[in-house]
Amino acid sequence: MSMILSSLILIPLIGAIIALLMGGSREKYSKYVAIGFSAVTLVISLLLMLGVFGDFADLSESFEWISTSTFIMNYSLTIDGLSILMVFLTALLVLLVNVFSLDEHRENNNYFYALIMAMEVGLMGVYTASDYFLFYIMWEVTLIPMYFMISWYGGPRRHYSAIKFFIYTHVASLVMLIGIFVLGYESVEPGMAVNFSFDAIKLGIANAGITIQSLIFAMLFFGFMVKMPSVPFHTWLPDAHTEAPTEGSVLLAGVMLKMGSYGIIRICIEALPDAAYVWQWVIIAIAIVSIIYGAYGCIAQTDLKKMVAFSSISHMGMVMLGIGCMSEAGITFAVFQMFAHGLITAMLFMVCGMTGHKVGTREIPLLGGLAGRMPIYATFMMIAFMASLGLPGLVGFWGEFPVIMAFYEFILENDVIWMLLFCMLSLMLTAGYYLWAMQRTLFGPETTKIDLSKVHDVAHFEFAALAVLSILVAFFGVWPDAALQYIESYSTILMGVI
């Protein structure tokens, strides 16, 4: 049995442990450990993506982990077109975050890098697990490093934000856990042991009644929705982002939010397709409210980072909309939007973090005319903003517009053309808040409200991380097929099943 998938979890784990133990005088070397281990992980996931290790189907690993008379839980990992992109995104962003963080020195650096690597362990686990028990454990594993990341290295209101983040998402995952219980119990005949592997449950639950399926769907969906997050359960996100350090924000928005949408596709849609049709309109309604409310919220923000946080809510709403269409195009481009948003939002948060760090404030009204002082910074900010608002030729375009196309098909079928208005409104709002924010911060007369004499432009390592992301944003913008081929292979199979 190949150990490739396990190595994706084990290598960051070893990195985390080594970094953790490098206290005292060795502290300054911990960053190289983190970079080394995350680079190896990235190389493995790249090779995996390019098919060097062979077919995805041959790479599955599975062995029975816990088996009692009532439960069978497996340590089983699989990879397919959906998870490979998320794995790649995780490995990429973790490495870039490590590189990005080199320019700044903080107290207890080794803990910082250990937390990042521990987060990678959980994320990799979530994206490759194919057993509910393992999935849940990994889901929770991501929570604790993020809590400490915010509460140790965050801004002034970090304690409040960290605990809010922790409890909010933990309660949601407990609801999800009950959903998993019921799912397991309903999927077997009386007297048999519950096998928690994805495949076994998928087979078993198909025989359950539609009412119970819908109930389970609701519980699981709630757990994922809070993580995404969708309105009205989004309030933890702006707080968490405002207070988190840049590196934490990048990982939180870039890959952790994707856990929610990944869970919806992987578990809710795959295992409970009939129930998904029952809830379809609710999903679409939540998606539309999130898109509009998120975009509307952006306009009102004065904190640059909080604005980007709200834009995440709006863009993740777009993912939900694609999923809600329940068509091949919808799901394909929803996944692409997840990927695209991961790249773009990483750039956005890096840029915003630099604003706070270099200029001293992220308050938009205090900023102005930064382009003159910091040309490279301004360039990256423009690329990120343009990509996020969906400029053709950049990756964001292929996330948003095809989703809206898929939604258009859906509303044609159901004869509700007026819903197109919402889409147009959201596009206008998105373009509006980005352009307006850019105008206020980068252009116009140089601000006199703050002292700009000591402001420096982008530093070396920050430049490297942002440059890599910009290249990828452009690369996948002109050649989306590089990512789409994986997703399509997955969504074709998925549509055959549901």
The window from 35-43, 136-144, 323-331, 374-382 that contacts another protein (CB under 8 A) reads 136-144
Inter-CA distances, 248 with 19, 149, 214, 255, 346, Å: 17, 6, 35, 11, 10
We find the least distance from the C-beta atom of residue 97 to another protein, in angstroms, to be 22
Peptide bond into 392 cis (omega under 30): no
Q: Do 266 and 85 form a contact (C-beta atoms < 8 A)?
A: no
Question: Considering the complex, what minimum distance in angstroms separates the CB of residue 142 from another protein?
Answer: 11
Least separation in angstroms between residue 174's CB and another protein is 5
The distance of closest approach from Cβ of residue 152 to another protein in the complex, given in angstroms and rounded to an integer, is 7
191 versus 445: smaller Cβ distance to another protein: 191
- CB 69 → another protein: shortest distance, Å? 6
What would the x/- binding string for another protein be over residues 154 to 173, using CB under 8 A? -----x---x--xx--xx--
Is position 191 an interface residue for another protein (rule: CB under 8 A)? Answer: yes
CB-nearer residue toward another protein: 47 or 178? 178
With contacts defined by CB under 8 A, how many residues of the chain interact with another protein? Answer: 39
Region 76-135 residues binding another protein, contact defined as CB under 8 A: 133
Determine if 189 is a binding residue for another protein (CB under 8 A).
Answer: yes
Shortest gap between Cβ of 50 and another protein (angstroms)?
A: 32
Residue 202 in contact with another protein, rule: CB under 8 A:
no
Q: CA 127, 346, 390 angle in degrees (round to 5)?
A: 100
The smaller minimum CB distance to another protein, of residues 189 and 415, is found at: 189
From 3-11, 187-195, 359-367, 443-451, span contacting another protein (CB under 8 A): 187-195
17 binds another protein, rule: CB under 8 A:
no
Long-range contacts of 134-141 (CB under 8 A, 24+ apart): 134/65, 134/73, 134/74, 134/75, 134/76, 134/77, 135/267, 136/173, 136/176, 136/177, 136/180, 139/173, 139/176, 139/259, 139/263, 140/170, 140/173
Applying the rule CB under 8 A, the residues between 40 and 69 that interact with another protein are: 66-69
In the list 188, 278, 405, 459, the residue contacting another protein (rule: CB under 8 A) is: 188
Q: Which of residues 283-312 bind another protein (CB under 8 A)?
A: none
Query: 93 or 129: whose CB is closer to another protein?
Result: 129
Q: Return the residue of 24, 190, 445, 496 that touches another protein, per CB under 8 A.
A: 190
Q: Which is nearer to another protein, 68 or 453 (CB)?
A: 68
Q: How far is the CB of 322 from another protein (least distance, A)?
A: 31
Which range binds another protein by CB under 8 A, 182-190, 305-313, 421-429, 446-454?
182-190
With binding defined as CB under 8 A, does residue 25 bind another protein?
no
Among 98, 151, 246, 332, which residue interacts with another protein (rule: CB under 8 A)?
A: 151
Judged by CB under 8 A, the residue of 29, 32, 53, 152 near another protein is 152
To the nearest whole angstrom, how small is the minimum distance from the Cβ of residue 26 to another protein?
15
**Residues making contact with another protein (CB under 8 A):** 23, 66-71, 133, 136-137, 140-141, 143-144, 148, 151-152, 159, 163, 166-167, 170-171, 174-175, 177-178, 181-182, 184-186, 188-194
